[in-house]
């Protein structure tokens, strides 16, 4: 599945640069504040401030869906780069430090004015589900001018998060990146990110999957939303042929991989404990793409995805705490 | 041991307002950067920036020694207040949110100019020891004008961290607070904070303990440093009579409490696991003072301190993750 041409990076991830603010909450809290459990909702600065005032003590950890994937690739020992926008403020410094310290190449200059660095208020309920309220902040300013043509052309896979369809200019950045990648004989991967996000942008996502995306990542809710399917298998049949590879994750039921004529049904990797499911999809994508850029077969790629997802749900936060290269070797 | 007079707060804690940046590191990293393991070292903005650039991905959690103690009091169900200085920046917002969300009354206004909110780079080695590099930032601006006379007079115990001797004006704040407390028939408690801190300010601390402090908290290294004693027992004999109560912590060896003519030798509470010892002393003080303000006898106070310390070393970060009132009841 690998390409023979030399590449400076295995995976270039493009996404919203976000610092996560994690806090425990119970279901009552979600109800009282009208929050949709398990979903990512975009909020403005005022709503973010009001929710923050109501929630309990937090822990700040760098996040962002595609950024988490990039950190996962680096943890496996792969070469990863990230494009995303922060402000020149304290949370921007935290984000930039953490992604570089994780071994990811991050060259995007912080904005000197405009909105502050984006943050995501994540409420983790006792069932380990996460409910996310995102204030995109500076991340919303990502546009085509931020896509470094040479970087895309020098990366085996350019990976994009579906959340990029929410800010106004980021989709133009995506299309630009996809065209550069295609022109350079590289691959384009997309994560659908969130079923509500798919609802907001269904027609555009269907067009993208048909015309630009080689490797699609989606969970069960997202893929059934994309095709407005009544059940998983219906969506599975629809996605075959729409892109080269679709890796569909199903939480504790494992994952299903469609690659050309092949279909692989893989069990979930055993998780030591389930503390916080934030980042499970992001890290599955990291494992899968790490295998892919190493020329592994689809089932082996899926197994690496499962290993990374099992690590991330075992603790608070969406960046690996154990080196994934060691878990993969074990 | 309790006072009969009514009080708005059980404990008023005064200290440096700090956001901790926790990261894993190995002993080699400490050696390469000339860091003294287990100690708190003050650093300027440049040194903090250089160390941050060299260290791995971090987790940001509100900290500060006395602030941790205040959060612990609230977690036990006591009424706690905190005085400390932040800037009106993102980390200041994080600190203020977290301490209020923990149930602590925090009325200090953020500074509109000057240094940014203070932070402490904490490197946690595989042996769970923490090595701390503190940039005091706005915290260094704490002075007598920040001490609210009515608040001190309305608090059963005013608790101060020894780290306050490092910034230039904070010791004046301490003396002011101690005199108000004494005038109102309240108690003054002091934590020696760090053996290197004791080294820097030994003469002043000895004077304080003799003249202003009713309840002294120190670990073995700190109390032996204070009296320049060759061994623990020598320091123990010296501290008797120097203050009403001395609670001396000895890590896994438990604690020794001197209260008037009584001496209690208590075993450490069983810890489920030892992940990060940051905050162990702060939370011991919280448990002890919670018992004290409830009128418990010295041994019962020490046991509550041990329970809180055992909770805090079982996870990353220096604020409780489990309600201490539940652990105390269990």
Residue A296 pLDDT > 90: yes
Give residue-wise pLDDT tens across range A258-280: 998 889 999 888 888 888 888 99
pLDDT band at residue A5 using 50, 70 and 90 as cut-offs: low
Residues A293-322: what's their mean pLDDT? 94
Nearest residue in A to B102, CA atom: A57
Contacts of A60 in chain B (CB under 8 A): 59-61, 94
Q: Could you tell me if residue A28 is inside a domain?
A: yes
- Which range marks the domain in which residue B70 is found? 9-329
Give every strand in the sheet of A187-191, ordered side by side: A105-106, A80-83, A9-14, A155-161, A187-191, A215-219, A245-249, A255-259, A262-266
Give the integer Cα–Cα distance in Å for B210 and B208.
5
Residue B271 in contact with residue B310, Cβ under 8 Å?
yes
Nearest to B57 among A57, A89, A98 (CB): A98
Q: Could you tell me if residue A287 is inside a domain?
A: yes
Residue closest to A158 by CA, chosen among A10, A321, A310: A10
Residue A86 in contact with residue A96, Cβ under 8 Å?
yes
Residue B167 in contact with residue B16, Cβ under 8 Å?
yes
Residue B35 pLDDT > 70: yes
Give the integer Cα–Cα distance in Å for B243 and A148.
66
- From residue A79, how far is each of A70, A84, A293 by CA, in Å? 9, 17, 10
pLDDT of residue B5: 59
Asked if B61's CB is within 8 angstroms of A60's CB, the reply is yes
pLDDT of residue B115: 95
Residue B210: CB atoms within 10 Å = 11
B52 touching chain A per CB within 8 A: yes
Q: Could you tell me if residue A223 is inside a domain?
A: yes
Contacts of A90 in chain B (CB under 8 A): 89-91, 116-117
* pLDDT, greater one: B19 or B231: B19
Position of tokens 């992001």?
A: A282
Residues A305-309: what's their mean pLDDT? 96
* Total domains in the fold of chain A: 1
Nearest to A91 among B61, B90, B317 (CB): B90
Cβ-Cβ pairs closer than 8 A, A with B, add up to 58
Residue A306 pLDDT > 80: yes
Q: Could you tell me if residue A90 is inside a domain?
A: yes
Give the integer Cα–Cα distance in Å for A137 and A156.
30
Q: Could you tell me if residue B165 is inside a domain?
A: yes
Residue B44 three-state SS: coil
pLDDT band at residue B178 using 50, 70 and 90 as cut-offs: very high
Residue B128 three-state SS: coil
Give residue-wise pLDDT tens across range B63-100: 999 999 999 999 999 999 999 999 999 999 999 999 99
Nearest to A55 among B71, B99, B101 (CB): B101
Q: Could you tell me if residue A1 is inside a domain?
A: no
Residue A312: CB atoms within 10 Å = 29
pLDDT band at residue A4 using 50, 70 and 90 as cut-offs: very low
- Give percent of chain A above pLDDT 90: 79
Residue B320 pLDDT > 90: yes
Q: What is the CATH number of the domain that holds A131?
A: 3.40.1190.20
A304 touching chain B per CB within 8 A: no
Closest approach of chain B CAs to the CA of A160, in angstroms? 23
Residue closest to B83 by CA, chosen among B181, B1, B5: B181
B55 touching chain A per CB within 8 A: yes
Residue A38 in contact with residue A108, Cβ under 8 Å?
no
Q: Could you tell me if residue B154 is inside a domain?
A: yes
pLDDT of residue B2: 41
Closest approach of chain A CAs to the CA of B284, in angstroms? 20
DSSP code at position A87: B
- Give percent of chain B above pLDDT 70: 98
Residue B1 pLDDT > 50: no
Residue A103 pLDDT > 60: yes
Asked if A317's CB is within 8 angstroms of B94's CB, the reply is no
Give residue-wise pLDDT tens across range A41-95: 999 999 999 999 999 999 999 999 999 999 999 999 999 999 999 999 999 999 9
């Amino acid at each position: 599945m690998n390409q023979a041409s030399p590449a400076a990076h295995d995976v270039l991830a493009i996404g919203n640069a976000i610092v996560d603010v994690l806090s425990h909450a119970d279901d009552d809290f979600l109800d009282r504040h009208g929050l949709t459990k398990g979903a990512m909702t975009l909020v403005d600065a005022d709503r973010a401030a009001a929710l923050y005032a109501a929630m309990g003590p937090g822990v700040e950890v760098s996040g962002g869906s595609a950024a988490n994937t990039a950190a996962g690739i680096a943890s496996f020992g792969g070469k990863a780069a990230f494009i995303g926008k922060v402000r020149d403020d304290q949370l921007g410094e935290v984000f930039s430090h953490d992604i570089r310290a994780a071994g990811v190449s991050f060259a995007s200059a912080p904005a000197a004015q405009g909105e502050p660095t984006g943050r995501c208020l994540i409420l983790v309920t006792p069932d380990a589900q996460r409910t996310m309220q995102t204030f995109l902040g500076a991340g919303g300013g990502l546009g085509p001018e931020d896509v470094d043509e040479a970087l895309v052309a020098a990366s085996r896979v350019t990976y994009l998060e579906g959340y990029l369809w929410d800010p106004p200019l980021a989709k133009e950045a995506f299309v630009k990146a996809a065209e550069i990648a295609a022109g350079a004989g590289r691959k384009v991967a997309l994560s659908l990110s969130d079923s509500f996000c798919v609802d907001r942008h269904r027609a555009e996502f269907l067009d993208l999957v048909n015309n630009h995306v080689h490797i699609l990542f989606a969970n069960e809710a997202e893929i059934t939303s994309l095709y407005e399917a009544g059940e998983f298998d219906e969506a599975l049949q629809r996605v075959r042929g729409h892109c080269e590879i679709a890796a569909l994750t199903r939480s504790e039921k494992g994952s299903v991989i469609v690659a050309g004529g092949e279909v692989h049904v893989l069990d979930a990797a055993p998780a030591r404990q389930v503390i916080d499911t934030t980042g499970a999809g992001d890290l599955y994508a990291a494992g899968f793409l790490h295998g892919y850029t190493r020329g592994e077969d689809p089932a082996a790629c899926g197994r690496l995805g499962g290993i990374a997802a099992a690590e991330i749900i075992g603790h608070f936060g969406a960046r690996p705490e154990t080196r994934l290269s060691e878990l993969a070797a074990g």
